[in-house]
Chain A
Amino acid sequence: MPFRPSKVILPATREEASESLEALGGGAVIIAGGTMLFRLRDSGLLDHVEALVDLSRLGLSYVRGDAVVAIGSYTPLSDVYRWIASDPRRGRALGALADAIMSMPGWQIRNMATVGGSASIGMPQSDIATSLLALGARARISGPSGERVVDLRDYMAAPLSPSLGSGEFLSELVIEQPIGASAHEKFVVSDIDHPIASASAHLALADDGSVASARIALGGGLRRSVVLESPRALVGRVPDEGVLEEIQGLARDSVDPLDDFVASAEYRRHLAGVMARRAVARAYARAGGSAR
């Protein structure tokens, strides 16, 4: 049997959504932008699907907040980008997410793909997920017994199977204290390929221009995403050439790269270091720092 769901369920409330998901169990699949799901129509992976559960009537398309930024899971990435770009302070702090969105090949994809779908595919290849990891995003999950909030890292358990219990879905991504500046860098063979390597960096600076805190996320062709929390090589220091060299080495040593026809593991490992270095340098410049 090919992909032949017999119905689309458009719940009007969160309770209804959880009830449908619980009742259908493995026969239901949540559809957001559909850019991943519809590409898998003929893959065989979705042949068991009996119903598409579409949460677009739950009012989950929004971006709001200042000290705490909340992004509804169904928000198209183009809307997220416009919200960030409309304010220079957001553009600095959430720059990695804006960079990641603009690194996608065109407005069509940005208009279709959602932030929640991008987090839920659970793939290190997702630029959006990599940038959200560097921003320390948390996933708000709605379910039959209310809400819970988990680290995005824990939510992104495995490709196409996020860590969700029965009747649960991702309702929102939460970024607390988006201060300082962040940037995303990736290396691709052509515009529409998955990145061979990618990195996002988020830095907060102290008054003297040194790095007060940092988070670097590594993605692309890796077995799993990597998050480096305030690496010792960076904190308390100004990212001059010597420090960037150390960051490059640290990133290189932290990844478990794929080895395939697109790129060897060694090449991906090398590029993980280079992307981390570039992301830190750009985030630092964006934060107003100068390594002179």
Chain B
Amino acid sequence: MKLRFTLNGSAVELDAEPWESLFDVLRNRLGIKSVKTALCEGSCSACGACTVLLDGRPIYSVMTPAYRADGRSITTLEGLSRGGELHPLQSAFIEAGAVQCGFCTPGMILAAKAYLDGGGGPDEGGIREAIRGNLCRCTGYVKIIEAIRRAAEALGGGKP
């Protein structure tokens, strides 16, 4: 099938097979290396490493057919910085020390971005729910939550 979609602001056109997942296409064919997998689709798990934003909403790319991207807009971590400037979430993750091995980081940041873009604020309950679909095996979450809180404050989210 011929697909046309927007990837991080640029138009992409390619052929995909019906059985291919969005992950297969993004990582293996378009070279988007921030999108990772722990093969959750085969193990009934949900680690969140394959998270991308589809029209701004977080989804798991390993469980999404590639053809669903047709006519839509996909955001991956590669699409967050602007003109060499990091997104406030990226800076906050660095400042708060929220990255260890980094495997979960792209997915965490994208899930957090959707939360903040949707008006989410610095309250811990909201942040925890926002990253419930993302597992981190290194940090213990404390610094990740702290990073998202800092970014929320920097962006002034959650205020009426």
Please determine whether A191 and B19 come into contact, CB atoms closer than 8 angstroms. no
What are the residues of chain B within 8 A of A51 when measuring CB–CB?
A: 18
Interface SS, B side: mixed
- A34–B63 Cα distance when bound, in Å, is 6
A51 to B44, CA, bound (A): 24
User: Is the Cβ of B19 less than 8 Å from the Cβ of A106?
Assistant: no
**Are B59 and A111 touching (Cβ within 8 A)?**
yes
Q: Quick check: is A198 within 8 A (CB to CB) of the other chain?
A: no
Chain B residues with CB below 8 A from A6, complex form: 18
Picked from A7, A39, A105, A108, the residue with its CB within 8 Å of the CB of B51 is A108
Which residue of chain A is the closest to B58 with respect to CB atoms?
A: A108
Residue among B41, B111, B114 making CB contact with A39, cutoff 8 Å: B41
Residue A212 at the B interface, CB < 8 A?
no
Q: Which residues of A contact B134 (CB under 8 A)?
A: 106
Contact partners of A191 in chain B: CB under 8 A:
132
Bound-state Cα–Cα, A290 to B46, Å: 39
Interface residues of B in 49-102 (CB under 8 A from A): 51, 54, 57-60, 62-65, 67-68
Please tell me if the beta carbons of B58 and A111 are within 8 angstroms of each other in the complex.
yes
- The answer to whether A108 and B59 have CB atoms under 8 Å apart is yes
Q: A78 within 8 Å of B by Cβ?
A: yes
The answer to whether B58 and A107 have CB atoms under 8 Å apart is yes
Q: Is B42 an interface residue (CB 8 A)?
A: yes
B131: chain A residues within 8 A (beta carbon): 106
- Does A166 count as interface, using CB distance less than 8 angstroms? no
B61 to chain A, nearest CB (A): 10
Contact, CB under 8 Å: B64 / A106: no
A112 contacts which of B17, B59, B67 (Cβ < 8 Å)?
Answer: B59
Q: Which residues of B1-28 have CB atoms within 8 Å of chain A's CB atoms? A: 1, 17-19, 21
Contact between A105 and B46, CB atoms less than 8 A apart = yes
- Check if B57 sits within 8 Å of A111, measured CB to CB: yes
Is there an interface contact between A7 and B46, defined as CB atoms closer than 8 Å? no
Instruction: Choose from A3, A5, A8, A38 the contact partner of B64 (Cβ within 8 Å).
Output: A38
Specify which chain B residues have a CB less than 8 angstroms from the CB of A42 in the assembled complex. Answer: 42
Residues of A within 8 A of B (CB): 2-8, 31, 34-35, 38-39, 41-42, 51-52, 54, 78, 105-109, 111-112, 191-192
Given A2-B19, A7-B18, A34-B63: 18 more A-B contacts, CB < 8 Å = A4-B19, A5-B18, A8-B18, A34-B65, A38-B62, A39-B41, A41-B19, A105-B133, A106-B48, A107-B57, A107-B133, A108-B133, A109-B46, A111-B57, A111-B59, A112-B59, A112-B60, A192-B45
